[in-house]
Structure 1
């Protein structure tokens, strides 16, 4: 029974992975059920029973998530182009679906996103992925490196994590104006609190970009700092880099006690090497760094 259940879950994981890899393709029920090698006559109910939402809704939410990132954080595409990429034949159909999920039109969202509604809309998508997509880690996934210190420009986020999207948006706009592109200037997040502190007001993270150039604030709250060098336990994560709590928890709860190492005096942080939506979520890459003594 346990072997059969593992096989069943593996087939369902293949479905989610295929959808995330092929958001621009035709993802009808017959195609998706074939990926899992399930009968198309039963697959819809099997998927809904496993993940709590239908195949159609999962695909729609995955496409709308990519579209919302492009609207909020990127300005190279028009709403029409984004609608086409999201699988809609016309901008008005896209706008209706977008408003239904987020309570805002695409154009309003691109100007002033309602991040609370945005987070709530993707709750079912995140819950579905957490059912079967959690990755386990082992000691072979962790390497110890000596890293140099990095001078960084820092934008602080302090307060409710539900408003982090607005800070990220300001940070992206500032670094664009400063000419600090991710391909030439590394991106870091330094976590100064738990991901879910007891009080949301206590949430604290620094958004950082590496640069040796003079820093111009341009009316934005930016300060200069440094990510110190030294020994680091490094865990590389591919896919689902929105939530890096599982790898961080593994480093603290399992790897560190078993390693014989001691944690250093700087917070846990990550470097983001590739980004969604420039590439599919399953190809986004981040490295989590645990400072060591």
Structure 2
């Protein structure tokens, strides 16, 4: 990539970061073109040519994604408040737009989300963000840490990756019930298999909360376990922490063969430090850990 192209991409990324930070504000072409240091006359065309989405459509999808996360995972927020935060003057207008895009009303989605249409609807947004916001890692980003054993309570997800959102809903509700919310209990995921090499029906992921309390499998299927201590290669991912595949590939495919290290018999796991939509998506943080011998 030439220096000129790098500068161009950096200016466009400034515009995306600004949108993430100011989803609740009036975002117009004039303000965004100034952030990116482009001509207002050309900015809209440049944005659409780069991302395959108009500026308006990109903002609209970002607001709708945040709204859908709040509906699914934040039951303390009313549909009316979520609609207003998404830029709609009335819940009815929000409900029509939501149903048109996802085939469900907001209240139906909150109760029982159908995640496959949701994923399909956000394909253009995911593609747009990946063009400039995909992280590129190097060896200096990886540190080797001595990690202490971590006692956790686990809720297992078993089934297609597209349905993880439903398990996350159950996990969040259970955490609230027992008082193990993120502000006082750490959050981990254990990646039991590679989605690219596993049939969807056999895909496994553990949703974990750090706690010394002991749980036996009951109605929610919660069980106590331990993430073992020891040496780990750690890689921090900032932004779009819904998809950690690129970071995992870097650790396994690039860093591990060059490091002289050997992986231990425990799966890759991560600690969720900050979460979208509590923070703007580009500020979400996850630390990825590869256990080493």
User: TM-score scaled to structure 1, two decimals?
Assistant: 0.96
Structure 1 SS opposite 2:183: coil
Aligned ranges for residues 248-263 of structure 1 at < 5 Å? 248-263=248-263
Structure 2 SS opposite 1:126: helix
Structure 2 SS opposite 1:60: helix
Aligned ranges for residues 95-134 of structure 1 at < 5 Å? 95-134=95-134
Aligned ranges for residues 152-231 of structure 1 at < 5 Å? 152-197=152-197, 199-215=199-215, 219-231=219-231
Aligned ranges for residues 232-251 of structure 1 at < 5 Å? 232-251=232-251
Report how far residue 50 of structure 1 moved.
Answer: 0.9
Report how far residue 198 of structure 1 moved.
Answer: 5.1
Aligned position for 2:51:
51
- Size of the alignment, in residue pairs? 293
Structure 2 SS opposite 1:286: strand
Q: Gaps spanning 5+ residues in structure 1: where?
A: none
Is 1:89 the counterpart of 2:86? The answer is: no
Aligned position for 1:75:
75
Aligned position for 1:35:
35
On the 8 A contact 1:178/1:216 being kept in 2, the answer is: no
Report how far residue 233 of structure 1 moved.
Answer: 0.7
Report how far residue 199 of structure 1 moved.
Answer: 2.5
More displaced stretch, 64-73 vs 215-224: 215-224
On the 8 A contact 1:195/1:245 being kept in 2, the answer is: no
On the 8 A contact 2:160/2:201 being kept in 1, the answer is: yes
Q: CA offsets, 1:244-266, max 9 Å, x none?
A: 11111111122111211111110
Report how far residue 193 of structure 1 moved.
Answer: 1.1
**Structure 1 segments (4+ residues) deviating >6 Å:** none
On the 8 A contact 1:144/1:231 being kept in 2, the answer is: yes
On the 8 A contact 2:214/2:224 being kept in 1, the answer is: no
Compute the RMSD of aligned alpha carbons.
Answer: 1.5
More displaced stretch, 44-53 vs 262-271: 44-53
Structure 1 SS opposite 2:171: helix
Structure 2 SS opposite 1:221: coil
On the 8 A contact 1:196/1:203 being kept in 2, the answer is: no
Report how far residue 122 of structure 1 moved.
Answer: 0.9
Structure 1 SS opposite 2:213: coil
Report how far residue 217 of structure 1 moved.
Answer: 5.2
- 1:227–1:189 distance in 2 versus 1, CA, 3 Å: same
Q: CA offsets, 1:55-77, max 9 Å, x none?
A: 11110110111111110011111
On the 8 A contact 1:186/1:209 being kept in 2, the answer is: yes
Structure 1 SS opposite 2:26: coil
